Structure 1
Amino acid sequence: MPDSNDTHIGARIAEQRNLAHLTQRGLADKAHISYSLLSKVESGHKPASPALIAACARALGIETSVLVGQPFRAEQREDRFEAPIAALRASLENWDVPLDPVAPPRPLHDIAADVKALGELRRSAEYWKTVNRAPALIDELVEASHRLDGTSRERAHRLLAYTYRCVHDVVYGLGHIDLGSCVLARMGYSAERSGDPNMVFLTAYLRAQSCFSTGRHEVGIRLMERALADVEESARQGDRSALCVQGNLRLRATMLAARSNPAGKGQEDNARAQWQEAWETAERLGADTENYVMSFGPSNTLIHQVSLEVELGNYGRAVKAAAKLHLPSQFAARFPERVGHHFIDVSRAQLWTGHRQAALASLLKARTAAPQQTRYHPHVRETVRALRRADRANSESLANYARWVGV
């Protein structure tokens, strides 16, 4: 596989296809995708959707990270991620063995304050700071979970599960898929011992996210169905935490259904129905709402409406939906990660509808909102590559952005 960051995803698919001794038609048949679409993706004339990438990776017997070029190791070395990632791997070695540390764990209320601060870093997509602080918290909470009992032990596991959630978002965003799977296993262990069903739901939600990488969308959909059935009664009674969980599960089911067919048309009706259910939950809440596990509300649901159209390949509809979306200033300030991801999606839609200047403007907004998330997002690199191929004026701002991304 080429190591160059100048290699687009379609070229990587072609490279891996040739290594597997498959023709384009052979891979198209094996991945259950259109031969014409695959040909256009490999030549760079059509975008490689996440669904198509996952289908090709599954057919080729490789991880999606190989096709998108993740992890972007040169940039991670430049941004000094190697040491904290290594420390995180080391911290994950222990989850069930009590040790005898030099200093005993602090009181849980002191640790909880640091876990809350870690959550704020995750919400802001501060990847380096999150992964740098997490290993010490994991070690301390693992030890606390062995020393405490009763409700205090449950609270230690609750804090530990949430810490794992924070680092999972980072390692997933950086493209360390294997590490993400390990984090999820540890999170599941603590969630089951937390005495909190919402932590169990959150684990299922993140596990379904990993299905995007493997192409096992049907597994993710089933996970969401099971979790939704479990949270239904509490949500029906109006519990706001349960409503936040329910809404997020619906949104994840929406995206899983949208990606369940590489051509983007597989379960379109199901995807739209799931989104409508999420919108009804958002209306019940009445406003953007935060709880200790998940946040949810109208703003995030409308962001996913744009994402849904992008996933289905309806780029014109995505651009129109984005033009109608006006995020409250407090939401943008509170959830820069979601805002950044939104503008990454919008830029993809603008690119493939011929609005190249607008696409670059959206990428700049994504960088302002969540710079580390944007720099390491594979679809940002694909959009930048496509913009550069079409940039006859040799725009300096685009060239500077490309250098920043690593293209």
Structure 2
Amino acid sequence: MPECTDTHIGARIAEQRNIAHLTQRGLADKAHISYSLLSKVESGHKPASPALVAACARALGIESSILVGQPFTAEQREDRFDAPIAAIRASLENWDVPLDPVAPPRALHEIAADVKALGELRRSAEYLKTADKAPALIDELVEATHRHEGRGRERAHRLLAYTYRCVHDVVYGLGHIDLGSAVLARMSYSAERSGDPYMVVLTAYLRAQSCFNTGRHEVGFRLMERSLADVEDDVRRGDRSALCVQGNLRLRATMLAARLSPASKSQEDSARAQWQEAWETAERLGGDTQNYVMSFGPSNTRIHEVALEVELGHYGRAVKAAEKMHLPDEFCELYPDRVSHHYIDVSRAQLWTGDRQGAFTSLLRARSAAPQKTRYHPQARETVLALRRADRSSNETLANYVRWLGV
């Protein structure tokens, strides 16, 4: 059974602040955040936003994952993640040494079918199934990179890089940040040998994601600027893969710009400008486009419009933007991971605006879309804890959700 704990992020911030011998005002000044807000977060009267968590972590000299409590080891043990995660770690030991396997690797087109299926599991945030299947594919593809030459070797590396991409989503989503960094190192090795510049850009895109945990948002933002320059020529020619990549880079730059510290009007303007560029790319594509590297389109851009307002603290605007949105059924079917993340963001905005019932309804939708993503998402847990503290009616449905999360 999962460990039962009422510890919220604010309590962890207070604990780490005391370890660092800082007062609340001292941490607020060092992190460039409101003293009043920090006080309310530490006492549990306000939920902690990712931006506040990142700012506090940076000021305290620790990673954000420490403050949010990741990885949630008891729950992962209950869900039987221990063996697959250990197998992933073992698979990362070899990336450049040819071995003598019992059976030679299959033909690349056969392996490619399994890699495609793995990608579908990733988009559905099926963490356990992805973690179960990936290690054997990694071992087989590493061997394939040694047995093929020329274009065959490049294709093997391209398939291997994408497999690592799927694994990264799992370990990052589960909060194994150091393991995620090791996965990215292996991905970078194969991407550079894949003959596919978009795989190299995808590695930078994921590397920028880790900057959210370390608080080095300025590094992530510069990575996105550099990657955007790398695809500019292909975008100018109207290459659809390049447009999908460009749109995603703009969206990541949007969220990174929103977290650059200290917060300012120019920072907000920069984030909105990045989002507008992404929207123009979505309009140029003409619709949601599924791509072998990064899919993109109007739906995901609208999702990020809501996420941006939440990140900037404009919760009323976020709720209004969400109310105007309609996610196509096809998009929801293809990208349940994105849909789940969207409803977690919406629930945060609804909580801040006082709509507790709406916040809980959004969390139910998030769980319906992608249960494992929701169960291991720190902000879903933080919102649920806030709802439980505010609940005075002994809501059994909420209590069941709390037990399901393991808090």
Q: Normalising by the residue count of structure 1, what TM-score does the alignment of the two structures yield?
A: 0.98
How many angstroms does 1:266 deviate by?
6.6
Q: CA separation in 2, counterparts of 1:315 and 1:218?
A: 24
Confirm or deny: 8 A CA contact 1:257 1:268 kept in the other structure.
Answer: yes
Distance 1:264 1:137 in 2: 46
Kindly state the Cα deviation for residue 36 of structure 1 after the two structures are TM-superposed: 2.2
CA shift, 1:4, in A, is 5.7
Counterpart of 2:361 in structure 1 is 361
Partner of 2:375: 375
Q: Residues 332-382 of structure 1, C-alpha deviation per residue, up to 9 Å, x if partnerless?
A: 111101101100000000011011111111000000000000000000111
Structure 1 pair 32–266 and aligned structure 2 pair: CA distance change class (3 A): farther
SS at match of 2:5: coil
Aligned-partner SS, 1:111: helix
- Where 2:292 maps in the other structure, the secondary structure is coil
2:229 and 2:45 map into 1 onto residues whose CA distance is 42
Is the contact made by 1:348 and 1:359 (CA closer than 8 Å) also made in structure 2? yes
Matches of 2:261 and 2:374, distance apart in 1:
26
Deviates more, 1:266-275 or 1:202-211: 266-275
Distance 1:308 1:352 in 2: 15
Q: Is the 8 A contact 2:4 2:406 kept in 1?
A: no
- Report the equivalent of 2:398: 398
For 1:360, the aligned partner's letter is F
Please state how far the C-alpha of 1:37 moved relative to its aligned partner. Answer: 2.2
Other-structure match for 1:80: 80
Cα distance in 2, alignment partners of residues 264 and 294 from structure 1: 31
Which residue number in structure 2 is paired with residue 283 of structure 1? Answer: 283
In 1, the alpha carbon distance for the partners of 2:243 and 2:193 equals: 23
Deviations 1:160-182 (A, max 9, x none): 00000001001100000000000
Q: Structure 2 CA distance, aligned partners of 1:216 and 1:140?
A: 35
What residue ranges of structure 1 are gaps of 5+ in the alignment?
none
Pair 1:143-2:174 in alignment? no
Using a 3 Å threshold, how does the CA distance of structure 1 residues 322 and 389 change in structure 2: closer, same or farther?
same
How far 1:194 moved relative to its partner? 0.3
Structure 2: 5+ residue runs without aligned partners?
none
Q: What's the RMSD between the two structures over aligned residues? A: 1.2
Mapping for residues 214-293 of structure 1, pairs under 5 Å: 214-261=214-261, 267-293=267-293
Aligned residue for 1:174?
174
Q: Deviation per CA, 1:277-320, whole angstroms, max 9, x where unpaired?
A: 00000000000001111100000000000000000111000000
Equivalent residues in 2 for 1:177-192, closer than 5 Å = 177-192=177-192
Contact 2:268 2:312 in 1 (8 A): yes
Q: Does 1:17 align with 2:24?
A: no
| Aligned pairs, number | 405
In the alignment, is the contact (CA less than 8 A) between 2:17 and 2:60 conserved in 1? yes
The secondary structure found in structure 2 opposite 1:296 is: coil
1: distance between equivalents of 2:266 and 2:235? 29
Contact kept in structure 2, 1:52 and 1:262, CA below 8 Å: no
Aligned residue number for residue 110 of structure 2: 110
Answer yes or no: is the 8 Å Cα contact 1:125–1:370 preserved in 2: yes
C-alpha displacement of 1:33:
2.2
AA at the equivalent of 2:192: E
- Contact (CA 8 Å) 1:337, 1:370: kept in 2 or not? yes
